[in-house]
């Protein structure tokens, strides 16, 4: 036997195979033999022919089996070069059976001839597709059960959806994200690209390429919008996307992530497209195929209840926000001798709308009423109570009542409004009380300011010399408790003074205690110059609101 044979040494090959050929032909395992450095296919047994089809002998392996790719398999080169046996379990390299179904093989590549100088290789493989599919089905069933349990145990829809994406990565995807369509598109055009409400990326992928960039605004519908609207899952080949000339940040990120393809699974709630789950296969993970769609749709169907809950929350928030804005004045009134500015900003998208309000008006005798309040609830009930409390504040002031009397009337009014039946209705917890501060400027009393407080943050007054004081009226109890006990205090309010009232959303958050927030306001007021437009100061103060809560404030400057 020669120490190294060329591809043309077929007589030597025949001598080598003669003894083993009979047992190989009838073996239940798939057996193939290659010869020489170019890995010519020189033998294929009957089991292999039945399963993957008869291939042309005498051709290099990558020609006889084009499904394996354009180059010789690396394991063949390695075995021929080292003489060492290679074993691969559960290999799914894209080789289909004669029916077109991808096979999973457990195979061994052994040297043919002396290990020190092999002449070729012998590949022996067992079809383990059914075994692997059964294991995969069992694993997927466990995943669906665990996913259902994790989502059911979540305290809110956001947590449920995050639990879902966290469970899908890395078992099913390298990236999983949930997108929810807005409940109501903005006026005058299509909704802007929205970030996902939940997303998880595999840690190694995130370390390599970072977080994916935010979605870019899209001009017109995407090619797959119609399929998603019809409830059909879409498989998007990343290679096709990149070949189409996509050079934006998302396309570059997909390329850097070695993404194979994306599965976009529609989320249908009550017959309406409510969003989609995006899954990405990257790196060594096999691309998603049509055979995976049923499983992916079963998994994402678990998100339906959370999406429905989230969209209900979004609808209620939008209604409450619209109601809140409708019940607040669109702009402060013009007051002779004064410049006035006001702002209201709702909390972030993940924060329910509250019941903050401001009110300023002129009553008989040149008096000016100045008030702010904050209902202790959220959502539509808080917005409704806010509207009624603000109207009550204005009505009491028009009746020419003093600040303490105004708060007493409001306390009784709010107490009646929150005295609800003991059985709560479904939805947000109804509000139980409100805080408020109310002041009256009296030009006839040497420009005095009378102030009363019902558990609200104190007013701030900047005097013409730049000194800022807290108007610490005795802190009465919040409105609605029916306890009374409000007192008013007088403070001088000379020409050139600036009054600021605000709700706690401007000065307090989970990261900042209220006293620190008030000190920030004092610093800004101290540095204010009366020649500066009041609207500029209002914009500066608005930047202090971190939107973890609603915020409202009112400024009144007495021009000298």
Cα distance between residue 300 and residue 275, in whole Å: 11
Secondary structure of 418-474 as H, E, C letters: HCCCCCCCCCCCCCCCEEEEEEEEEHHHCCEEEEEEEECCCEEEECCCCCEEEECCC
DSSP structure class, residue 255: H
pLDDT of residue 220: 62
9-56 confidence digits (pLDDT tens): 555 666 666 667 777 888 899 999 999 999 999 999 999 999 999 999
Q: Give the residue from 250, 140, 147, 115 showing the smallest Cα distance to 195.
A: 250
Common-topology check for domains 132-213+224-314 and 328-558: no
pLDDT at 426 over 50: no
Query: Six-digit token pair at 344?
Result: 């209201």
Q: How far is CA 526 from CA 198, 471, 537, in A?
A: 43, 15, 12
Q: How confident is the model at residue 551 (pLDDT cuts 50, 70, 90)?
A: confident
428-460 confidence digits (pLDDT tens): 555 677 889 999 998 887 789 999 999 999 999
Q: Tell me the Cα Rg of the chain.
A: 37
Q: Please, is 49 exposed, middle or buried when counting C-beta atoms within 10 Å of its C-beta (0-12, 13-18, 19+)?
A: middle
Q: How confident is the model at residue 498 (pLDDT cuts 50, 70, 90)?
A: very high
Residue that the structure tokens 């690209």 belong to: 193
pLDDT at 7 over 80: no
Q: Are 441 and 557 in contact (CB under 8 A)?
A: no
Cα distance between residue 552 and residue 560, in whole Å: 26
Q: Evaluate the omega torsion of the peptide bond into residue 448 and state whether it is cis, within 30 degrees of 0.
A: no
Q: How far is CA 277 from CA 17, 233, 333, in A?
A: 55, 10, 49
Q: Give the residue from 19, 69, 15 showing the smallest Cα distance to 39.
A: 69
- Number of Cβ atoms within 10 Å of the Cβ of 345: 16
Q: Which fold has domain 132-213+224-314?
A: Beta-Lactamase (3.30.450)
Q: How confident is the model at residue 223 (pLDDT cuts 50, 70, 90)?
A: low
201-219 confidence digits (pLDDT tens): 999 999 999 999 887 666 6
Cα distance between residue 404 and residue 479, in whole Å: 12
% of the chain surpassing 90 pLDDT: 33
Residue that the structure tokens 């899209």 belong to: 218
Q: Taking the mean position of all CA atoms in its chain, how far away is CA 66?
A: 43
Q: What are phi and psi of 319, to 5 degrees?
A: -65, -45
Q: Are 264 and 228 in contact (CB under 8 A)?
A: yes
Q: Give the residue from 31, 112, 46, 110 showing the smallest Cα distance to 75.
A: 110
> Does the 10-127 domain belong in CATH 3.40.1190.20?
no
Q: Are 275 and 178 in contact (CB under 8 A)?
A: yes
Q: Give the residue from 79, 35, 76, 75 showing the smallest Cα distance to 58.
A: 35
Cα distance between residue 271 and residue 231, in whole Å: 9
Among the listed ranges 220-229, 493-502, 514-523, which one has the minimum average pLDDT value?
220-229
403-418 and 379-398 helices, crossing angle to 10°:
140
Query: Six-digit token pair at 356?
Result: 């903050």
Q: What is the CATH number of domain 328-558?
A: 3.60.40.10
For the chain, the structural domain boundaries read 10-127, 132-213+224-314, 328-558
Cα distance between residue 210 and residue 175, in whole Å: 12
């Amino acid at each position: 036997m020669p120490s190294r044979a060329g591809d043309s040494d077929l007589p030597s090959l025949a001598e080598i195979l003669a003894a083993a050929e009979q047992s190989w032909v009838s073996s239940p395992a798939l057996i193939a033999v290659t010869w020489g450095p170019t890995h010519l296919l020189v033998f294929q047994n009957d089991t292999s022919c039945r399963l993957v089809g008869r291939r042309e002998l005498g051709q290099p392996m990558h020609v006889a089996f084009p499904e394996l790719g354009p180059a010789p398999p690396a394991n063949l080169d390695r075995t021929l070069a080292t003489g060492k046996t290679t074993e691969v379990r559960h290999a799914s390299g894209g080789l289909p059976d004669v029916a077109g179904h991808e096979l999973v093989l457990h195979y061994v590549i052994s040297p043919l001839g002396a290990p020190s100088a092999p002449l070729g290789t012998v590949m022996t493989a067992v079809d383990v597709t059914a075994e692997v599919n059964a294991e995969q089905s069992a694993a997927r069933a466990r995943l669906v059960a665990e996913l259902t349990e994790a989502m059911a145990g979540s305290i809110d829809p956001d947590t449920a959806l995050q639990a879902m994406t966290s469970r899908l990565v890395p078992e099913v995807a390298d990236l999983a994200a949930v997108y929810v369509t807005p409940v109501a598109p903005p006026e005058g055009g299509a909704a802007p690209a929205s970030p996902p409400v939940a997303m998880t990326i595999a840690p190694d992928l995130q370390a390599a390429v970072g977080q994916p960039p935010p979605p870019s605004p899209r001009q017109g519908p995407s090619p797959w919008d119609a399929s998603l609207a019809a409830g059909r899952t879409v498989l998007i080949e990343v290679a096709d996307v990149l070949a189409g000339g996509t050079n934006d940040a998302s396309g570059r990120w997909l390329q850097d992530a070695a993404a194979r393809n994306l599965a976009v699974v529609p989320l249908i709630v009550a017959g309406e497209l409510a969003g989609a789950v995006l899954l990405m296969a990257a790196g060594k993970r096999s691309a998603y195929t049509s055979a995976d769609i049923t499983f992916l749709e079963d998994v994402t169907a678990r998100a339906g209840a959370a999406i429905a809950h989230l969209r209900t929350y979004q609808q209620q928030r939008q209604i409450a926000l619209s109601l809140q804005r409708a019940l607040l004045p669109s702009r402060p009134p013009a007051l002779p001798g004064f410049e006035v500015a006001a702002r209201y900003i709702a909390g972030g998208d993940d924060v329910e709308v509250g019941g903050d309000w401001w009110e300023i008006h002129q009553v008989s005798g040149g008096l000016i009423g100045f008030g702010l309040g904050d209902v202790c609830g959220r959502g539509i009930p808080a917005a409704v109570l806010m509207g009624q409390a603000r109207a009550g504040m204005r009505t009491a002031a028009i009746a020419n009542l003093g600040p303490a009397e105004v708060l007493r009337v409001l306390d009784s009014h709010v107490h009646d409004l929150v005295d609800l039946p003991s059985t709560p209705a479904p939805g947000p917890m109804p509000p139980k009380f409100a805080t408020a501060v109310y002041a009256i400027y009296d030009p006839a009393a040497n420009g005095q300011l009378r102030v009363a407080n019902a558990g609200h943050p104190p007013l701030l007054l900047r005097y013409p010399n730049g000194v800022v004081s807290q108007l610490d009226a005795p802190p009465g109890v919040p409105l609605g408790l029916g306890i009374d006990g409000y007192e008013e205090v007088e403070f001088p309010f000379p020409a050139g003074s600036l009054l600021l009232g605000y709700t706690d959303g401007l000065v307090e958050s989970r990261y900042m205690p209220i006293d620190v927030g008030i000190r920030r306001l004092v610093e800004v007021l101290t540095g204010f110059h009366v020649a500066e437009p009041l609207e500029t100061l209002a914009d500066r103060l608005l930047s202090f609101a971190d939107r973890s809560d609603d915020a409202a404030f009112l400024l009144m400057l007495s021009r000298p």
